[in-house]
Structure 1
Amino acid sequence: MASRHLKIALLAGSLSVTGCTNLAPLYQQPEATIPAEIPSAPTGIAIDSPLAWDQVFLSEDLRSLIEIALEENRDLRVTAANIEIARAQYNIAQSSLLPNTSISGNLTEGGRFGGSGANTSAFRDSALFQLGVTGFELDFFSRVRNQNEAAFQSYLATVEGERAARIALIASVAELWVRLATDRELLALAEDTVDIQSDSLSLTQELLSAGVATELDTRRASASVENARAQAAQFEAQIRQDLNALRLVVGTELPSYIEGSAALTPSPVELLVPGNISSEVLLNRPDVMAAERNLVAANANIGLARAALFPSISLSGRVGYSSTDLENFFSNDVAGWTFGPSLDLPIFDYGARQNRIAVTEAQQEQAVARYQLAIQTAFRETADALAITETIDTRLNALERLSEDADVTLNLSQERFRVGVDDYLSVLDAQREDYSARQQLILARRDRALNAIALYRALGAAPSAENE
């Protein structure tokens, strides 16, 4: 009996053996081939971590729309499902680290009949109960652990991909909101221009009747009215397209407040820029982190491929009871056990295993390049946004002064035409300059808001403040 217990103990000890050698290369984070600091605006406050989106987007209606999009957007639902798939695949891989156990049992009764069909023997009972471990691999070369590591890193990369998708969705909703607001202001400008040009046309017709203006002046005034009407119609169509795009991104019907709430003033977006930003901040961007997760997974896959060159040893064993006497079923006399290892030893595969290693090593090199490219892309996007940030306020101030001057010039030109000092051509020139200045000011406000959104996206962003 002591010998039997010893054998069972040896079986349990064998099942607890863990891997001894990890054939995966030692992971080292690749060098980020970018400057230590990102060129940035000279003023601002330091940003210790990416700002939450509800701290960047100031409009209550815009924030409400973003929340709806985060609930309803179909692309985001796909990425969430991808996380569940990756999590399940990781759990499957992780289960390989543990023994696969099973329980089986049966109970039978039987007897023997004579030739006449009469029962000539009493029924005999038999029972069998077994607890077993099947196919537990001794992970001497960390094949299973590297497989598990690769699945885990792929899962984490999927999580980062979902975070990147959320940031992209938030930025897309904000960008479409800003474009909708821009087109509404441009439509209002065009409609205002129609009214101004119509008044000028009426004045020109009166002056023509009085012999002060010419037929050419009247035709020019009429052409200006129709040109303004055409531009207004163009912006009306663009607004409908903006709403269609916003509806698609949000994933459901737009709330009623959208019809009149989108505006550029006050600015719906505000992002304070630090005096200097360390490039280390970019390493927290979800696309960069996902690229690194994929790199670590590729590293583990090399170890997985290398382990295939070596023998694979698996253990199977069972312990249980069998008896024809149910009353003495659990006695030591009817206990039994089985144990047997299996060996898978590669011999000839015509270079298949070596080529699999070459494939995984090349894939690891690809992952390194993708990781470094992700960092370089993040650096450029951030630097580009900061370059605009440095000059956008100067541009806005200049355009505000230009718009004021153009408005004064237009009023003077109209008055000079009214008293007969200038012809209508000078009025047309003043109207074009005024319209252009006002339009440029609207577009500059749009660019300022879009650039703040681009900077929010480039810095990697963060969850909403409520979820931090």
Structure 2
Amino acid sequence: MSQRMFVRSSTAVAVMLVMAGCSLAPRYEQPESPVPGAFPSYGQQQESGAAQAAADLGWREMFRDPRLAELIGIALENNRDMRIAVQRVEEARAQYGIAQSDRFPTLGIGGTGQITRYPPDLRAAGPDSPSVSRVYQAGAAMTSFEIDFFGRVRNLSEAAYQQYLATGEAQRTVQINLIAQVAEAYFRQRMAEQLSDLIQKTLRARQATHDLVRARFDAGVASELDVHQSQSQLDTARADHASTLRAREQASNALSLLLGTTPPADLPEAAEFGRDQLVASLPAGLPSELLQRRPDILAAEHALRGANANIGAARAAFFPNISITGLLGFASPQLGGLMGSGNRFWQFSPQVQMPIFSGGVAGNLALAEARKHIAVSEYEKSIQTAFREVADALAGEATYARQVEALKSLEKSAHDALKLAQLRYETGIDSFLQVQTAEVTFYEAQQALLQTGMDALLNRVTLYKALGGGWTENTVLASQGMVNAQENQERQ
């Protein structure tokens, strides 16, 4: 009879579980995009849907320098920030598992025993009854379990799930940023090497000029002022060389930190320094496509969904909290006869709590609503930030090529002017001041050309990152990318 009663009670619990799950969370609506519907063209025509292709372009196809690709692979495996991001995902997964488990009863088996000695005045059967009372219990038990009529536990579980998804997107963001940082450190190291070569050539040329001026001074043709001017040009190049060596070492140290280890000695041969180290072009599509590709925007939306679920949990706290505990097994005053057929035992304990005067409940709801407003603003800001990053990088793509061409022409003109100034000085037509001015102009033009070339490389890396690229090693086909985006949308 007792077992049938327990079965009926369990059936009632099952019915309550089925009835549970009502959610008081507000209906989620994605905020409208706070940016224009198209990127600035800057005189370039952008193809629709190209942002998806740029985002799905694998970093091995983006970075064509085999040495850089090898370094990126090492960084993704050894970088400590990357390892922390991976473990953050595992941490969030575990937290979600804990929150999810609260939606189901916890069952277990066990036993208890209680032995109590009573003084004569407290014995229920009188002073002559036994002084020691023994009670033993064993069986299957269900710990306190909340019947989630109003969706409090369900919404807390949903909030933990959204936090888990946001952490996964944060890992992608860390990876994208890491790849861009490795590329930047590598290009700065290569840039320092290029500058070092340039300055060494400049040193040799200025040393030859100084020797010529010294010889002319010894012959009584040149003035002492010419000697000092040529010496100052030589010393300037020496100082620049020391600065370049320092920059090269600092770039190497930054690269080693990003790699998380010392770069191996058997790296592949580096490609020639220039724009050919990267993919030729990265056309941008529509701003709306960033909402499906940028992991930081996806993470902000998951945080917004979690904040929305927390409002439902806070609202549910205004309603009764119903929880139950139960035990089915055996009870006996003697341990030896505990499992006898006549010692069957069951216990069912429902509990209802209803807040009446509790300012904290209202405060928690106000807190949850305020945090949702914050999450909305953060989501909108992430979209605006992404739009600006892409727009800035597109402006660079539209102008760097023309700037580099102009600097190449300037370098050629400065070189020709230097040759002419040297010839006119050697023939006594002009003073050494003309040579000095021409050397400075040519040197600055060479440096500007190298610096602008590196800026153009970094700008393309920035555009790749801004479009959400860098989270895949190899290129994802456009059709597969659309399938993945659709699956992510259905999952949400």
TM-score, scaled relative to structure 1: 0.89
The C-alpha deviation readout for 1:319-371, integer Å capped at 9, x for no partner, is: 2245679899574x44332212111111222x221111111101110000000
Partner residue, 2:375 = 367
Question: Contact 1:11–1:339 (CA<8 Å) still a contact in 2?
Answer: no
Shift of 1:295: 0.7
Partner residue, 2:397 = 389
CA gap of 1:16–1:253, structure 2 versus 1, over 3 A, is farther
Shift of 1:253: 1.2
Question: Contact 1:184–1:239 (CA<8 Å) still a contact in 2?
Answer: yes
User: 1:353 & 1:266 partners in 2: Cα distance?
Assistant: 60
The C-alpha deviation readout for 1:45-67, integer Å capped at 9, x for no partner, is: 63433022212111111111111
Question: Contact 1:321–1:335 (CA<8 Å) still a contact in 2?
Answer: yes
Partner residue, 1:86 = 92
Partner residue, 1:31 = 32
Partner residue, 1:96 = 102
User: 2:46 & 2:310 partners in 1: Cα distance?
Assistant: 45
Uncovered stretches (5+) of structure 2, i.e. residues with no partner: 115-134, 477-492
Shift of 1:261: 4.1
Uncovered stretches (5+) of structure 1, i.e. residues with no partner: 109-125
CA gap of 1:28–1:189, structure 2 versus 1, over 3 A, is same
The C-alpha deviation readout for 1:401-442, integer Å capped at 9, x for no partner, is: 111121122112212212222221111111111111111110
1:218 aligns with 2:224: no
1:22 aligns with 2:23: yes
SS of equivalent residue, structure 2 residue 281: coil
User: 1:334 & 1:327 partners in 2: Cα distance?
Assistant: 8
**Deviates most, 334-343 or 283-292:** 334-343
User: 2:304 & 2:46 partners in 1: Cα distance?
Assistant: 36
Matched to 2:65, the amino acid is S
SS of equivalent residue, structure 2 residue 277: coil
CA RMSD in angstroms comes to 2.5
Report matched runs for 1:154-165 at 5 Å. Answer: 154-165=163-174
CA gap of 1:185–1:43, structure 2 versus 1, over 3 A, is farther
1:376 aligns with 2:384: yes
User: 2:388 & 2:247 partners in 1: Cα distance?
Assistant: 31
1:68 aligns with 2:68: no
CA gap of 1:259–1:227, structure 2 versus 1, over 3 A, is farther
Aligned sequence identity (%):
38
The C-alpha deviation readout for 1:151-182, integer Å capped at 9, x for no partner, is: 11111111111111111111101011111111
**Deviates most, 284-293 or 3-12:** 3-12
Matched to 1:424, the amino acid is F
Figure out how many residues of one structure are paired with residues of the other and give that number.
448
User: 1:200 & 1:461 partners in 2: Cα distance?
Assistant: 50
Matched to 1:22, the amino acid is S
Question: Contact 2:51–2:290 (CA<8 Å) still a contact in 1?
Answer: no
CA gap of 1:414–1:303, structure 2 versus 1, over 3 A, is same
SS of equivalent residue, structure 2 residue 348: strand
**Deviates most, 174-183 or 322-331:** 322-331
User: 1:325 & 1:420 partners in 2: Cα distance?
Assistant: 121
User: 1:162 & 1:69 partners in 2: Cα distance?
Assistant: 14
Question: Contact 2:21–2:154 (CA<8 Å) still a contact in 1?
Answer: no
Shift of 1:106: 7.2
Report matched runs for 1:352-431 at 5 Å. Answer: 352-431=360-439
Shift of 1:255: 2.5
SS of equivalent residue, structure 1 residue 316: strand
Question: Contact 1:417–1:424 (CA<8 Å) still a contact in 2?
Answer: yes
User: 2:325 & 2:300 partners in 1: Cα distance?
Assistant: 40
User: 1:443 & 1:43 partners in 2: Cα distance?
Assistant: 28
1:239 aligns with 2:252: no
**Deviates most, 321-330 or 185-194:** 321-330
The C-alpha deviation readout for 1:89-120, integer Å capped at 9, x for no partner, is: 11100000110111124799xxxxxxxxxxxx
Matched to 2:376, the amino acid is V
SS of equivalent residue, structure 1 residue 103: strand
User: 1:358 & 1:326 partners in 2: Cα distance?
Assistant: 58
